[in-house]
Amino acid sequence: MKNVSISVKRISKEKGASLMETISQSSEFAFFTFNKVEEEIISRVFLTARLVSYLEEKERLSDGTLRLIAKENEIHQINIYDSQGALEISSEISLAEKELPQKLLIDAEENEILLELDVDPLGRPNRFAAVRERKGNRGFIVVKNSPDELIKLRKKIGMGKLVQELSFQRGVEYIVIQDKRGIISASSNIRKMSSFLEDEFLIKTINAQEVKDRTVEFKGEKILEIVKPFEEESGDWGVFRVGISLEDYHAVLKDSYKFILIISFIILIIALLGINFTVVNQNYALWKKAYQVISTYANVVVENITSGVLVGDNNEKISLFNKKLEKTLGISLQKGQDYNQIFPEDEFKIKEALHSKRAIYDLELNYKNKDLMVNTSLLWREGKIDGAVALINDITEFNKMKKKIELASRISSLGKMAASVAHEIRNPLNAISLTLQRLKKYVAADLDREKTYELTRTVEKEIKRLNKIVSDFLELSKPKQITFTDCNINEIIEETLSLLNEKFNAFGIKINKTLQPLSSLNGNKEELRKAVLNIILNAIEAMEKTPLKELSIYTNEQRIENQEGKVKIIEMKIKDTGEGIPKENISKIFEPYFTTKESGLGIGLTTVYRIVNEHGGEIYFESEINKGTEVTVLFPIGGKNE
């Protein structure tokens, strides 16, 4: 009978230990998950603060610009304060603090710091703020993430929910997680628990740092309590406490007494085997349930995180990834694939991290024409490396916006310079023109009259050319007030082709047109005609020395999906069979003064870029040496304000 009691009690302990291991592993997973999410949020707020600091050096920022940056980077709020702590501009002016808290003025002595805001009762931050000092000690830039981001995640996969799920298992009386401050999480039937600082058994368990058990009274019944210590990040200790009912234990003992009185020793052995088989099955079911719970929580986190996730094990096999990663990279993956076969260049540094045994942060790379930011960390289990995880963010649009602002800044600077230079040049030009008019009168009686007039006509021609250069410079320098009306891109193209018909005939250029019916575009007809003309003139010049001379123009109307949802656009493509543009020059073609022509000024495509940008459009170049160039322009049908 004593053996029966020992066996059943041992099985009850094993059940409690199994449950304890489930809770322990789940808590480690939850802590790891939150750390990764916090790292991603911290990286995002710092990256945004650095972007704002960079853009502020280039141009004067506005509330609208800050709102656009905040929306693009999923940031709750961006505030800029002066050196006295007074608010200058904000992405959410109604929510921003009008004065920078004194705490920030004191702490922000370094160039850049991180603050933890809205700390919960357990000391966990719900919100972060990146504080960056502005250039020239002009104040501070403060970037905050959404206060709901971590709170929602805790509600979705927090330890409280896991504890409630597991506490409903048959035979589980309660589950409690507590430290010296009190209860961290507990099953719903627990309202109060004695402090473990007053419990000698719990203190001994912590000192021994091992799993222990004891029999305690709970709601008038004796139960088995399993206790396991754990260490918090602060260095303090806490305990997991699981109460296991002894009802089955007592029931088995009672039945065993009956068996002893009725049947033989052999039947008793069979009964013990049956008991062991039943409880082992229960343990298996418990482990299976726990695994399903943890698996579900892991999938929720991985599929909802804003970054692409890629996990490789110690054998450099892909063990985990999410849909965001496949969408970002434009590929389809499977678990168990060889990482080195899919990514032979070790683009995401899984292999390097495993071999060097160190994390790799803030790596920028280009993968399939996408700009990516990669942070790769090591996974640890029981003090040993168990793999590596890479968090991958698509920063293509972020970099495009940065380049647009840089280009706009350069164009603006050019305009200011052009205005002053143009006024200085025009004065002597006027004087030269007046002098030549007088010269005509003085030499009218000269015998070599035709030669004299030829020289004066040449000078006049050069003056007109210089005057055109000045006019082009002034065109860039004027911040125009453009009037927008309904325009038809097809009509503008037809008019431009008609204007250049003699040029096409002179160069022997064949025109291919495919102009689909289009809706009206809200724009300025003269500016749009100027843009189309500049693009076509560039195409003609590119085909001067090529044997095949064909100019193809195509328009259509379509719907595309962007961050605002689905929008209607007009697409215009102009393709030539010219010399093509070298790859190293593609990124420079919109820069003022950049040209590869001997007589070119390098402002034609700068003007095109300005016009397209003023109409809320986008322009792209694709080119191949000795095959030609294709220019694609996209216009929103409602114009810039749609």
- Going from N- to C-terminal start, the domains of the chain cover 2-18+154-302, 35-152, 307-393, 395-479, 480-642
pLDDT value at 108 more than 50: no
The tens digit of pLDDT for each residue in 343-397 reads 988 888 888 988 988 888 888 888 888 888 889 988 887 778 889 988 888 888 7
Task: Report the share of the chain in percent with pLDDT over 90.
Answer: 12
pTM, full prediction: 0.40
Architecture (CATH level 2) of domain 307-393: 2-Layer Sandwich (3.30)
pLDDT value at 623 more than 50: yes
Question: pLDDT at position 642, please?
Answer: 43
Q: In this structure, are strands 139-144 and 77-82 parallel, antiparallel, or unpaired?
A: antiparallel
- d(C-alpha 227, C-alpha 370), whole Å: 51
Confidence of residue 574 (pLDDT cuts 50, 70, 90): very high
Question: pLDDT at position 85, please?
Answer: 82
- d(C-alpha 270, C-alpha 272), whole Å: 5
- d(C-alpha 449, C-alpha 445), whole Å: 7
Of residues 172 and 405, more confidence is placed in 172
- Both tokens of 501, joined, read 């018909």
The DSSP secondary structure of 265-289, one letter per residue, reads: HHHHHHHHHHHHHHHHHHHHHHHHH
Query: What's the topology of domain 2-18+154-302?
Result: Beta-Lactamase (3.30.450)
Architecture (CATH level 2) of domain 480-642: 2-Layer Sandwich (3.30)
- d(C-alpha 557, C-alpha 570), whole Å: 5
Reported as type and span, the H/E element at residue 79 is strand 77-82
From 202-211, 255-264, 590-599, the region with the lowest mean pLDDT: 255-264
Domain 307-393 in the same topology as domain 2-18+154-302? yes
- Both tokens of 102, joined, read 């004194």
The answer to whether the beta carbons of residues 388 and 353 sit under 8 Å apart is yes
Q: What is the largest CA-CA distance in the chain?
A: 151
The answer to whether the beta carbons of residues 141 and 78 sit under 8 Å apart is yes
Query: What's the topology of domain 395-479?
Result: Helix Hairpins (1.10.287)
Q: Which CATH number fits domain 35-152: 3.40.50.12240, 3.40.50.720, 3.30.590.20, 3.30.450.20?
A: 3.30.450.20
pLDDT value at 238 more than 50: yes
pLDDT value at 28 more than 60: yes
Question: pLDDT at position 575, please?
Answer: 95
Question: pLDDT at position 256, please?
Answer: 54
The strand ranges marked E within 504-617 are 510-515, 521-523, 550-562, 565-576
Q: Residue 423: which residues within 8 A CB-CB, separation 6 or more?
A: none
Of residues 193 and 283, more confidence is placed in 193
Reported as type and span, the H/E element at residue 87 is strand 87-90
Average pLDDT, stretch 328-357? 88
The DSSP secondary structure of 97-126, one letter per residue, reads: -SB--HHHHHHTTSSEEEEEEEE-TTS-EE
Confidence of residue 517 (pLDDT cuts 50, 70, 90): very high
Average pLDDT, stretch 280-295? 54
Mean pLDDT of the chain: 76
The tens digit of pLDDT for each residue in 77-105 reads 898 988 888 888 888 877 777 776 655 55
